[in-house]
Amino acid sequence: MNSNDFEKKLGQQPMRAVPAAWRARILREARLAATPEPPAWQAWIRELLWPRPMAWASLAAAWVLIAVLRAATPAEPPLVVRQTPSPRETMQCFVEQRRELAALLNLSTETTAPQKSKSAGPRSELAMSPASA
Partner 1 sequence: MPADTELERLYDAHAQALFAFLLNFTRKEADTRDVLQEVFIKLARQPALLDGVRDERAFLVRLAHNAAIDLMRRRGTRQRNYDQLAAESLQLFEPAASPDERAFRRALTAALGELPPDQRAVAHLKLWEGLTFEEIAAQLGIPPNTAASRYRYAIDKLRERLRPIYEELK
* Residue 34 touches partner 1, criterion: CB under 8 A: yes
* Residue 15 touches partner 1, criterion: CB under 8 A: yes
- Burial 41-54, CB ≥16 within 10 A → b, else e: eeeeeeeeeeeeee
Q: Which stretch binds partner 1 (CB under 8 A): 23-31, 55-63, 80-88, 112-120?
A: 23-31
Asked if 107 contacts 97 with a C-beta cutoff of 8 angstroms, the reply is no
Report DSSP state, residue 96.
H
∠ CA(15), CA(18), CA(23), 5° rounding?
Answer: 165
* Residue 30 touches partner 1, criterion: CB under 8 A: yes
- Give the CA-trace dihedral at 96, 98, 100, 103, to 10 degrees: -140
- Give the CA-trace dihedral at 106, 109, 112, 115, to 10 degrees: -130
Amino acid at 70: R
Pick the closer one to partner 1 by CB: 11 or 74: 11
Least distance CB 38 / partner 1 (angstroms): 16
Pick the closer one to partner 1 by CB: 1 or 127: 1
Least distance CB 18 / partner 1 (angstroms): 4
Pick the closer one to partner 1 by CB: 2 or 73: 2
Q: Please count the residues of this chain forming the interface with partner 1, following the rule CB under 8 A.
A: 23
Which residues sit at the interface with partner 1, rule CB under 8 A?
1, 3, 6-7, 9-11, 13-18, 22-23, 25-27, 29-31, 33-34
